[in-house]
Amino acid sequence: MIDDARWWEMRAAASGAARSYTCPFCGERLHAGMEHVLLKPEGDSSRRRHAHVTCFAEARRDGRLPTVDEWRRATREADEQRQRGDGGDPERGADAR
């Protein structure tokens, strides 16, 4: 299973190491030397995961792997919504008063 993280650092990797890894998305093995994607939850190298390119692409498409830029943008939008007060619902705002 993939770690719980607010954002992910990600890059393509083609390991020449004889070691093989388990993909966190499908649980299948990555073969040594195979092109894959290196994922670091919140940039943490100690928790890095190696995933299949296809599994990674699917997770990105589903929005499960935000980059730090996407996370910052989402956080900023949430902050702006809070600052506006009632989240754009006029009825709920009237009730609060």
Decide if 61 contacts 68 (C-beta within 8 A): no
DSSP assignment of 14-56, as one string? E--SS--EE-TTT-PEEPTT-EEEEEEETT-GGG-EEE-HHHH
Scanning 9-17, 26-34, 42-50, 88-96 for contacts with Zn ion by CB under 5 A, the matching segment is: 26-34
Residue among 7 and 25 whose Cβ is closer to Zn ion: 25
Q: Which of 19, 20, 26, 78 is the binder for Zn ion (CB under 5 A)? A: 26
- Would you state the structure tokens that stand for residue 97, as one six-digit string? 């008063």
Q: Which of 23, 37, 39, 65 is the binder for Zn ion (CB under 5 A)? A: 23
Binding site for Zn ion (CB under 5 A): 23, 25-26, 52, 55
